[in-house]
Chains A and B, each alone.
Chain A
């Protein structure tokens, strides 16, 4: 599968979904005016990718210093996909990296963590 690579912009995060290494990275801020437009290709990529990963490891690493409400909803959709995949036997591991001085990041990560059952580690740096 083709690698999904998006450069960071002022209002969208850096994205690097590497199907060969099974490492998915999201890093930056996310507050585009139309969040769904930005996340739609990510969601489609993930759907296709996760379908063929049963029994295999997938690592996701997220760093989000700010997300607006609609971006948060899209992130939730991504995590829902992972949860679904985990239920079907994909070995999903998520590492959510937060700055220890940024209360907002931590709260955000903790809120997400509550909703999911796959390994979800919050790392303070």
Chain B
């Protein structure tokens, strides 16, 4: 019998839970299907998550690349600079100086040989009179020139004649001619060899002249020597140039640029091209006659500049090589560019990889959401079904309530038989196992207040059975004994519910309190687990029912079970209640309401009419319950006899 009720409660609970789920998930909007906008909300979450991962990972990898790239850059830069200064510049300078030294030394050797030729000295001292030797001399000179690829010259101090291999006797030295000054300077210098350079800008020629005093340096016969075209050295300089921002200079002791790879600079002043302090250092260091290369680094408007210089071993001239660091470290730019290109390529690849990976990672997530949506749809469909069933069940219950109420006595009967009364009838689940039954008889009336086992529909079904049995038992004309009614009810109910089967799984019955009033002031009471409370002028009395229920397997009522007979005084009030009211939990400790409290209310309400008392009992109970749910069906009946 409890099965239907269980189901009903389960359905109510399930629906409640699901409604809550719906409210949570949808923000209170009940719609059967998920809207499109809600889908895109999920997609946004996915895209946002994916993008976060991509951006974060890209950021980390770019940082890693930049850090490695820049540390590589720094290391390469340092080692390149070091190599440049310690090795490359020194190597370049040494190569050039060795070459220049070799050329000059060879020219000096050649000059010494030809200048100290005794035949020529003798011919010069004789005043070039021997025409025969002259022819031989000219032949020898042109031969030498051809052999060494030099310009060979001889100048006689006595005659001032200037002989060269190409033009033979071309000039006569004159002290007034400034172009001849080199000759007189050489004679006067008293040095065996002096070097002289001249530039011919039109011809783009730079010639080194080795002026050698012929014979005795103190009294030379003249000045002889060779002229070397240094243009090829100048060309050689070009080979050592790295980029546009480098310069190679051969500078004489006075700071004049003798040779430069740039013809425009030849003959110019070195100080025009260098900061003052660097220029001073070059001049002072080279004056100390050391031939070690010296490196100077400085910054000018074009950036960092490395400069190396070294005095030549063949003469006092200084070779200076200057180069802008941006040229030497040009390779670093390519490192930088390649790093940037790597970053770009890695980024593109990363985006591609992350897009693929994240779309694959996101897929299970997406399908989980999809599944969730499907479940939600299913739930809402089921909820709709359940709600539908719920409505049907509720309708059915309300109809059952109408039926149950229809068998309960109406107010017309109450008013006819009694002076005043109230009925508090509150089934827990719309219908219930509590009932009251009132029947007018010839001598008076009989009132039954009962509580069948179970609540809701099973309880209500029991009340219907009990109702019909009571209608059978009580015959209007009879004098009625409540104890006999109970005994008969017990018998018939056990019979009706097959109690002799001894099957424990169905053992149902009821508790009841029965009052029979016989006119002329006598009231008979018998109860099965229900008591009668009587409030008279000076006291409250309680008449206990027996401790056995009616209709249960073990229920037996012996012949000793008898009515309680009461003499009714005017103003006496009678109360019957089922355990629903007495057992209802509430209050501070969540205890049951209790009989004492019930009896207190009887005392407290003695001045009220029965009708007013009904409202009072109800509000007392409501206050006591507070938030606690109703435990059981509740019935309280109070009455006053005419």
Residue interface bits B510-528, CB-to-A below 8 A is 1, else 0? 0100000000000000000
Chain B residues 178 to 195 lying within 8 A of chain A, measured CB to CB, are none
**Shortest CB–CB separation between residue A99 and chain B, in angstroms?**
7
- In the complex, the answer to whether B595 meets A107 with C-beta atoms within 8 Å is yes
How many A residues are at the interface, by size bracket? 20 to 34
Chain B residues in 8 Å Cβ range of A105: 591-592
Given A68-B632, A69-B453, A102-B589 in contact, is the A36-B582 Cβ separation under 8 Å?
no
Q: How many residues of B contact A (CB 8 A)?
A: 28
Q: Is A3 an interface residue (CB 8 A)?
A: no
| Assembly CA distance A111 to B544 (angstroms) | 12
Q: Is A65 an interface residue (CB 8 A)?
A: yes
Chain B residues in 8 Å Cβ range of A114: 547
Q: Is B361 an interface residue (CB 8 A)?
A: no
| Assembly CA distance A77 to B554 (angstroms) | 11
- In the complex, the answer to whether B507 meets A65 with C-beta atoms within 8 Å is no
Q: Is A20 an interface residue (CB 8 A)?
A: no
Look across to chain B and name the residue whose beta carbon is closest to the beta carbon of A80.
B554
Chain A residues in 8 Å Cβ range of B505: 36
Chain A residues 85 to 122 lying within 8 A of chain B, measured CB to CB, are 99, 101-105, 107, 111, 114
Of the listed residues B455, B505, B590, B591, the one surrounded by the most CB atoms of chain A closer than 10 A to its CB is B591
Q: Is B585 an interface residue (CB 8 A)?
A: yes
- In the complex, the answer to whether A73 meets B631 with C-beta atoms within 8 Å is no
- In the complex, the answer to whether A31 meets B547 with C-beta atoms within 8 Å is no
Chain A residues in 8 Å Cβ range of B6: 33-34
- In the complex, the answer to whether B453 meets A70 with C-beta atoms within 8 Å is yes
- In the complex, the answer to whether B453 meets A104 with C-beta atoms within 8 Å is no
Q: Is B140 an interface residue (CB 8 A)?
A: no
Q: Is B9 an interface residue (CB 8 A)?
A: yes
Look across to chain A and name the residue whose beta carbon is closest to the beta carbon of B595.
A103
Chain A residues in 8 Å Cβ range of B252: none
**Shortest CB–CB separation between residue A28 and chain B, in angstroms?**
12
| Assembly CA distance A31 to B505 (angstroms) | 17
- In the complex, the answer to whether B582 meets A33 with C-beta atoms within 8 Å is no
- In the complex, the answer to whether A34 meets B2 with C-beta atoms within 8 Å is yes
**Shortest CB–CB separation between residue A101 and chain B, in angstroms?**
7
- In the complex, the answer to whether B592 meets A104 with C-beta atoms within 8 Å is yes
Of the listed residues B451, B455, B594, B596, the one surrounded by the most CB atoms of chain A closer than 10 A to its CB is B594
Q: Is A45 an interface residue (CB 8 A)?
A: no
Look across to chain B and name the residue whose beta carbon is closest to the beta carbon of A11.
B631
| Assembly CA distance A73 to B453 (angstroms) | 11
- In the complex, the answer to whether A103 meets B585 with C-beta atoms within 8 Å is no
Chain B residues in 8 Å Cβ range of A77: 504
Instruction: State the A residues within 8 Å of B (CB).
Output: 31, 33-34, 36, 65-66, 68-70, 73, 77, 99, 101-105, 107, 111, 114
